[in-house]
Structure 1
Amino acid sequence: MGLKEKIIQLKKDKNAVILAHYYQTADIQDVADYVGDSLGLSQKAAETEADIIVFAGVHFMAETAKILNPTKTVVLPDLKAGCSLADSCPPEAFSAFIKKHPNHVVITYVNCSAEIKALSDIVCTSSNALKIVESVPKDVPIIFAPDKNLGKYIMKKTGRDLLLWDGSCIVHEAFSIDKLIELHKKYPDHKIIAHPESEEHILNTATYIGSTSGMINYVKKYPQEKFIVATEAGILHKMQQEVPQTELIPAPAHEDNTCACSECGFMKVNTMQKLYDCLLNESPQIEVAEEIRKKALLPIERMLELSK
């Protein structure tokens, strides 16, 4: 019996569900019960009947699942699966930032720690960020954290003046505009699509800007087109499954890495073997202190309610 078959059997035996992000490796995506973006994964975590949630993603995602399911066992294949964006917003510094700017509604992007969510009024994802920001009355000032690039994109789209925290994702800031222009010269009939965590000069080249699920839906809508995709390269697996005849090229990164594209090292620390081991041993488990969990639950629930 291969590793995939062992995982599937173990999942049945333990009444477990495997939730995987689009940026996971192809083999992990293929064994998952659900593959999605942060919003979809949060929604699935909120409604699951499973006893064990195996989160094939990064730490903040598994934390969100635990916040929504305090009585369930939530495991992450590797605790080293962190997030550069979440790390860019330390709780003590952010708490001090909020105190300096009272009377602001605090909206945080889901890519942050449970402690940051607990300091927030409402959480958003890249799928619903515009909707969440527009739900706040225009005369109410807003702090937006931790992603400054997503914040700038929201400001441009909504005309709202947001007070931004200076955080970013190293993967989405790794795209090289020079290499992208060169690639587009080579493939002028390919449309560029990009994630709003990318820098503004990358977004200015894009025909479509959206979340990971939004980008997949866009290529499904225009399967006759060809695309250069500016987000973490792991999305290409699911995207290509949805549009097998469509030509997809990953946007180039500054670094000359093996795939010449942008990959998240944190997402890729999870492996099939680690996935099997964590399900077998029900470890490492994700725990969130109850006081933090209760505070963090409110802004997540507000997001889920607004996303219906």
Structure 2
Amino acid sequence: MTASSTAAAHDTAAEPGVDLTPFGGVVGDQAWREEILRLAAEQDAVVLAHNYQLPEIQDVAHHTGDSLALSRIAAESTASTIVFCGVHFMAETAKILSPDKRVLIPDERAGCSLADSITADQLRAWKAEHPGAVVVSYVNTTAAVKAETDICCTSSNAVDVVRSIPADREVLFLPDQFLGAHVQRETGRENLHVWAGECHVHAGINGAELAERAAAAPDAELFIHPECGCATSALYLAGEGGVPAEKVRILSTGGMLDAARGTSASSVLVATEVGMLHQLRQAAPNVDFRAVNDRASCRYMKMITPAALLRCLREGLDEVHVDPDTASQARSAVRRMIEIGRPGGGE
């Protein structure tokens, strides 16, 4: 599948009426786990799982983490096959960094509403309106968009990336409007233009829900992903004294894990996709982690089922291909992303 056909499949996956029924019929039990690890060893494959995956997928993976950490692992791994349990842009990123390796995703229909919110054609048109601007793309974008990008970023290093750009240069930040607003607050940069895209799951975690949950748990810390629609509300609550400012933490998923290991709080309200709770509870089992919105579950992430992963390793499906020219153009932007910010603190 080329970059263009990958994008087409991704767009189709988001259309109403398209069958997105996950592969089923397999239980993620011990026998399944042993078979996954046996097949992975047999095929010289490393299994990577994003923090938003189902718990059984996270637990069987060789490495679980955020998009930046997994991108680094994919690039550095000696395995000849990368099995990326996540959404399609993540597997594309692994292929961009490791063009000579076989990259598989257990279900190529696993797309991303945020990545779908801007196309390469739209980005080219936006660049034409701002000649000379530096393009900063969140890693949650297609390979074709990355190819039109100067430097990629994750939620943990987005502020550092923008600060690294000369102050007199315009910046086009895409595609997430909430992360862009966070970067604008942190940098105070007036020549930063933000694309009006969003992750439907994070955007659905709103300020009213956060305020209600925080009022009901006044001693809880707040871990807020900057993609969330409630991020501004969290800062407002802190500024108005509704929540102690020191209890409000705007964090990437990697940052949440670090904060979980160091917190002295007995309870934490978490505003991000609910799959993150599994890793947080493992990192700090004595802390009560609760979702601000229990319905904040990404259907695309949850398409990577035990059956899908078993099918992937048994049949070598679905393989991800990125057009070599597209990958070459995108690679420098992704590599610059990996070089900026602390290791392991990604999406």
Q: So what's the TM-score if we normalise by structure 2?
A: 0.84
Tell me the alpha carbon deviations over residues 205-261 of structure 1, each in whole angstroms, 9 at most, x when there is no partner: 471001001011112111444100000010010110010000111012xxxxxxx33
Q: Give, as a single letter, the amino acid of the residue that structure 2 aligns with 1:82.
A: G
Tell me the alpha carbon deviations over residues 92-123 of structure 1, each in whole angstroms, 9 at most, x when there is no partner: 11111111110101010000000000000000
Partner of 1:306: 340
Match of 1:16 among 30, 39, 45: 45
Q: Report the alpha carbon displacement of residue 83 of structure 1 after superposing the two structures with TM.
A: 0.4
Alignment of 1:140-289 (within 5 A): 140-161=169-190, 162-199=192-229, 200-204=231-235, 205=237, 207-252=248-293, 260-289=294-323
Partner of 2:22: none
Partner of 1:57: 86
Q: Give runs of ≥4 in structure 1 deviating > 3 Å.
A: 200-203
CA–CA separation in structure 2 for the residues paired with 1:45 and 1:212: 18
CA–CA separation in structure 2 for the residues paired with 1:107 and 1:15: 35
Q: Report the alpha carbon displacement of residue 53 of structure 1 after superposing the two structures with TM.
A: 0.4
CA–CA separation in structure 1 for the residues paired with 2:307 and 2:206: 33
Higher RCO structure, 1 or 2 (CA under 8 Å, sep 6+) = 2
Alpha carbons 1:147, 1:197 under 8 Å: kept: yes
Q: Give, as a single letter, the amino acid of the residue that structure 2 aligns with 1:301.
A: R
CA–CA separation in structure 1 for the residues paired with 2:94 and 2:183: 26
Gap runs ≥5 in structure 1 = 253-259
The percentage of counterpart residues that share the same residue type is 41
SS at match of 1:137: coil
Partner of 2:140: 111
Q: Report the alpha carbon displacement of residue 66 of structure 1 after superposing the two structures with TM.
A: 0.3
Alignment of 1:3-42 (within 5 A): 3-42=32-71
Alpha carbons 2:210, 2:234 under 8 Å: kept: no
Alpha carbons 2:47, 2:62 under 8 Å: kept: yes
Q: Report the alpha carbon displacement of residue 38 of structure 1 after superposing the two structures with TM.
A: 1.1
CA–CA separation in structure 2 for the residues paired with 1:306 and 1:182: 37
Q: Report the alpha carbon displacement of residue 179 of structure 1 after superposing the two structures with TM.
A: 2.6
Q: Give, as a single letter, the amino acid of the residue that structure 1 aligns with 2:210.
A: L
Instruction: State the number of aligned residues.
Output: 301
SS at match of 1:196: coil
